Every structure is written in C-alpha cells, then in structure tokens.
Amino acid sequence: MSSAAPPPVIILVRPQLGQNIGKAARAMLNFGLTEMRLVAPRDGWPNPDAGPAASGADIVLEQAKVFDTVAEAIADCSQVFASTVRKRDIVTPVVGPEQMASAIHSTAGRSAILFGPERSGLATEDAVLASHIVTVPINPEFGSLNLAQAVILLAYEWSRSAPLVQPTAFEVEPRAPQAELDGLIEHLDGYLSQVNYFNPPERMQATRNTIRTIFTKAGWSSREVKAVRGMIRAIAQPRLRGTPQP
C-alpha cells in the first residue's frame, strides 16, 4: 500500500542520553524518517554525544526541534501513537505495529509516535495525550527494549508500506544465450580433458552431464559467463603453458 500521507514524526520525551538520541536518529533515517522532536531532553540540546552515535544520520539531528511539553510537540498532529505498555488507568485504544502503520498511511494529516525516557518509559500523563497506544509483541518474561530498538521496530513497520527502495535491489541481468553457455562448458571440458580429469573413461559421459547440469542450473548471464571463462583461463594457463588452448 502506498499513500500520500506524510511520514510520522518521532518524538522522544525527556530523553536522557545523547547517545540514545543519536542511535534513534540512525534508526529513523534507515527507514526514511527525518523529523525528530525532543521534549525537554535531560542534558539539553544540541548534545555532543548524539552525533557520533548517529553514524551519519546528521540530517535528523540538525533538523531536530525541541519543545518544553508533549502537548506543544504534538500540537500539529492529528493522530498520536504512544509507544508503551498498556496502562491500566487509561482507556486509550491499543493497537499493534501493523495497525499503527496502516492508520498512518491512511490519514492525510500528520502523525506522531511518542517514545518515553530510557529508564521509565512514557508517564501516564504523557500517554493519555495520545490517540492510541501502540505495543510491540514481545517476550513477556523479558520485555526490555532500548530506545533505539523501539524506534527501529516501529519505523520499519511504517516503511513496509512506504515507497522506499531496497538498498540491495538491482536489475536482474538476462540469462546468457544457450550458445554462450555451451561455449563455456566446452571451454572447461577442453581443459579438463587435457589434465585427464575424466577418469575412469567409462564415467566420462556421466561426469560431463553433471558438469552441464551444474552450469545450466546456475542461470548465468553473459557477463558472468565471460567472467567464469576468464577465471578458467587464469587457473589453467600456468599448468598448460605451451599447450594449444581450447
């Protein structure tokens, strides 16, 4: 699903360590999020420890805005998700990460995701300002996510429906024509024959069939066929120098 809804704002409420702010920025930028807001950071802002921890996500830190209260930080947001465990004393609807992402993509207005202080998480008075609580399914016997981990989980879930490009995506090369593949196999067969690889003779055809299957299954492109033939020459020539080459 793709939408024209703006990316969510990540709001860190009373963050304690500059390193954690930097790591959160790094998590954000990995998934295309750049707008960070800080509510009353404990050590002030900017924080010299944030930059090194961000590992290059400087644009997030440079554009980060500071607010005195959560209410001010979310004033322009039409829906707000509080990342926290469900609190007994509030009746805010609880959703999972997938529901949160779907709601963000389907809402034209600006959305925000709140994250609380590293040690205590969001206080009740902050969580009640949100339209939803979002919780991540986690081991009930060890529910210990750090700030950056929480940010990256929810940022990733949002990104699954965002128009991001896979960093490892590439255009698949067409398979080489059969004639090129046959040339590669014949090239290798010629060298193998010269070093008496096909032994015993009665197994020669079976071995050749196996070699053909190996190279046929691989789905080589023309570029790969040329590269493999080059490697065969480089390996074989020292041993067969002076021998006619196939």
| Mean predicted confidence (pLDDT) in 100-124 | 91
Q: Tell me the range of 6-15, 134-143, 177-186, 189-198 where mean pLDDT is highest.
A: 6-15
Predicted local confidence at residue 235, as pLDDT? 86
Return the higher-pLDDT residue of 1 and 71: 71
| Banded pLDDT at 239 (limits 50, 70, 90) | low
- Beta-carbon-side half-sphere exposure of residue 109 (alpha carbons within 13 Å): 9
CA distance 105 to 109: 10
Across residues 213-227, what is the average pLDDT? Answer: 84
Helices (H), 195-221: 204-217
What does pLDDT average to over the chain? 87
Cα 112 to Cα 10: distance, rounded to the nearest angstrom = 6
Instruction: Provide mean pLDDT across the span 194-216.
Output: 87
pTM here is 0.67
Residue 106 has pLDDT above 80, yes or no: yes
Query: Token digits for 236?
Result: 């074989």
Q: Would the pLDDT of 32 be above 70?
A: yes
Is the pLDDT reported for residue 236 higher than 70? yes
Question: Domains of the chain, with CATH numbers?
Answer: 9-159 (3.40.1280.10), 178-240 (no CATH)
Q: What whole-number distance in Å separates Cα of residue 145 and Cα of residue 151?
A: 10
pLDDT at 31: 94
